Amino acid sequence: MTPILFIDRDGTLIVEPPDQQVDSLEKFALVPGVIPALLRLRDAGYEFVMVSNQDGLGTPAFPRERFEPPQRLLLQLLESQGIAFRELLIDPHHEGDPAGVHTRKPAPGMALHYLRDRSIDLARSAVVGDRRTDLEFAARLGVGGFLLGADGCDWAAVAHALCNAPRTAMVVRSTRETRIEVALDLDREAPPRVSTGLAFLDHMLEQLGTHGGFAISLHCAGDLQVDEHHTVEDCALALGQALREALGDKRGIERYGVGEAETPMPSRTALVMDESRADAALDLGGRPFLVFDGNFPRERVGDLPTELVAHFFHSFCQAGGIALHLSVRGANAHHMVEACFKAVARALRPALRRAGRTLPTTKGTLA
């Protein structure tokens, strides 16, 4: 079955000018990132259909001879890169024109034949546009929708969402002691965004995302006026829950590495920071367990009590369904704690890896 990407034109493929009418070559400019994204989508099996409202096309206010040159240039540029459209659907009616009530977006009339075509994979199909009416058009077709622009996303995000089938999760955990919001994308690397009120914990959580190879956003408002315990524990629980939800049924993940004898072995990493060394081995199979071996020479590193390091990983494992064996040796407590977090992150990276690319099977909206 073939997935279809229904693509708006002005503001989506071509930059929309202030007068909202691309009626000359001087006004022509491609939207940034469109060609690389379409190439990725084409290689992932998508076919493209242009669906565009062109107000008054064919009237004296917008004659076809002014529409055709930019349209031809657009098609030629894309075709030169190996990008072709399965169909061009253009509606010429003005908003409110009774003649276009069933065909002008967001009405689905122009694309109804795709809903009747059993060779089309509607579950993976989507609409890309720059207006809310494009999202409404997607909803009426029963497919996912992506909104481009300052209030939405860019073409790279569209390609990422459709080609990578990203494993994402957002968790909000609210108790009497803390309120935590955490978002994960296991298939995208991005600068981590962490704010817990504990500067050293922020630094450690950033290491998990940076060295684990995934995007993490975590914000915590906790009862630090009492002590650090609830903030550390609840951040670990929320993060573990988000990881578990993002992994879903875990289908296709490496889960752990393979030893020399080709028997399942935990994903294992040793990490050295000067005089300190941390060893981490983990299994994402769903059975939580922590074995921690290490003694820190100081009671605190910055604003983080070192006694809470093992407690953090215990809570993380319980919520995430992770079996983790973690040991650390050293003389500098800062190096030892940081080595622990980096070692776990480095063990997570191969365990999270998918053995093969999986295309999405569910609909969604990124707006």
Tokens at 237, concatenated: 């629980």
Helices (H), the chain: 34-43, 64-80, 112-115, 132-141, 155-163, 199-212, 229-247, 307-320, 333-352
Active site residue 121: no
Provide the phi-psi class of 285: left if phi over 0, else alpha when psi is between -120 and 50, else beta. Answer: alpha
Name the strand (E) or helix (H) holding 89.
strand 85-91
Rg (CA), the chain: 26
Q: Is 249 a catalytic residue?
A: no
- CA–CA gap between residue 175 and residue 234 (Å, rounded): 9
Return d(Cα 16, Cα 1) in angstroms, integer.
33
Vertex 159: Cα angle to 157 and 160 (nearest 5): 60
Tokens at residue 39, please?
A: 């190439």
Catalytic residue among 10, 130, 234, 279: 10
Structure tokens at 137: 């058009």
State in Å, rounded, how far the first CA of the chain is from the last one.
26
Token pair 């002590």: residue: 227
Strands 289-293 and 300-301: unpaired
Spot the catalytic one: 8, 134, 234, 279.
8
- Is the CA virtual torsion 306, 213, 290, 326 positive or negative? negative
Query: Which residues are part of the catalytic machinery?
Result: 8, 10
